Amino acid sequence: QSVLTQPPSASGAPGQRVTIPCAGASSNLGGNYVYWYQQLPGRAPKLLIYQNNQRPSGVPDRFSGSKSGTSASLAVSGLRSEDEADYYCAAWDDSVRGPVFGGGTKLTVL
């Protein structure tokens, strides 16, 4: 059971926009930044979004993040086949006194 809650799967057709939600609590998303990671099949995770909505250099602007209260979401617009991956949200948790992850969402491009 992960501290942050994500749906196990999401899907969309090429070119469409998909949103992946992440639900938390006051001890994590409620007062701390959310981070998003993309894990391509057989690869290490990669930082996709940091501090709620910032993109590291090299991440396409098709990826965007937002946070409101104890919920956050990752949006992927203009879906491409190479976006098929597992996506994880994470945040610092004041109770755990460390980072916690969501269970991950497998994104399928139809």
Contact 105, 7 (CB under 8 A): yes
Q: Give the burial class of 58: count Cβ atoms within 10 A of its Cβ; 0-12 exposed, 13-18 middle, 19 or more buried.
A: exposed
C-alpha 59/C-alpha 40 separation (Å) is: 14
| Residue 31 CA from chain centroid, whole number | 17
CB of 101 to other proteins, least distance (A): 5
Taking the least distance from each CB to other proteins, the nearer of 27 and 88 is 88
Taking the least distance from each CB to other proteins, the nearer of 33 and 73 is 33
21 scored as a contact of other proteins (CB under 8 A)? no
Taking the least distance from each CB to other proteins, the nearer of 7 and 77 is 7
Q: Which residues pair with 37 in a beta bridge?
A: 47, 88
CB of 96 to other proteins, least distance (A): 6
Sites of contact with other proteins (CB under 8 A): 2, 35, 37, 43-47, 50, 56, 88, 90, 92, 96-104
